Amino acid sequence: MKVVLSWSSGKDSAWTLHLLRQQPNIQVAALLTTFNSEANRVAMHAVRRALVEAQAERTGIPLWAVELPWPCSNLEYEERMRAACQRATAEGITAVAFGDLFLQDIRDYRVRQLQGSGLEPLFPVWQIPTQQLSRDMIAAGVRAKITCVDPSKLAKSFVGRDYDLQLLQALPAGVDPCGENGEFHTFVYDAPVFSRPIGVQTGEVVERDGFVFADLLS
């Protein structure tokens, strides 16, 4: 089965790829990432395009960029994703994998959007308990930095920090250890699926559109 993986640049995407690679009947043929074309960054995580390209190079998997205007309506987003799905089916891909953990409404939306596309949705990490999952990822060698924080859910001081056991222990009660409720987003700079690490350092921290972002530099 040829699969395209929705790739956010974060830890859950990297772990999803790790699990997919353990299934001999699955070939991950492409990583699919949405970019804010105006900023030249990942649409939600605000990670520089060059860093995502470095991730793809280290996985040995082609990166498919979905270019989004800014601002971008939901209708425009869905049209561009539909075009990516058409490309996938034209290239013999039969499924799209997502790193969603437990948000049922997000899963339902993805299933709905793929109906009639010829692509099957896959959710390899679905409902893995996040307390265990977070520790399993770190123990396996996933290394990531917090790139984005929702300050209404988590203190701004967490942005730019490494995603490690010390960070997990410092998270307030009620904050999901994988950030699945949108508390934070990550960028993976090393993982079992990479041929070698990506050297990154934390640059400027900015607050924009209700979120706090740490710029990562290679």
Q: What is the pLDDT of residue 201?
A: 93
Q: How many domains does the chain have?
A: 2
Tens of pLDDT along the chain (218 residues)? 999 999 999 999 999 999 999 999 999 999 999 999 888 899 877 899 999 999 999 999 999 999 998 888 989 999 999 999 999 999 999 999 999 998 899 999 999 999 999 999 999 999 999 999 999 999 999 999 999 999 999 999 999 999 999 999 999 999 999 999 999 999 999 999 999 999 999 999 999 989 999 999 98
Tell me, yes or no, whether 134 lies in a domain. Answer: no
How far is it, in rounded angstroms, from Cα 203 to Cα 59? 25
> Is residue 181 situated within a structural domain?
yes
CA 80, distance to chain mean position in Å, is: 18
pTM (2 d.p.): 0.94
How much is the pLDDT for 12?
95
What CATH number is given to the structural domain containing 111?
3.40.50.620
- Shared domain for 171 and 103, answered yes or no, is no
d(CA 92, CA 172): 45
Query: Is 81 in the same domain as 44?
Result: yes
Q: Do 77 and 10 share a domain, yes or no?
A: yes
Q: What share of the chain is helix, strand, coil (3-state, %, to 5)?
A: 30, 30, 40
For 110, the domain range is 2-122
Regarding whether 116 and 42 lie in a shared domain, the answer is yes
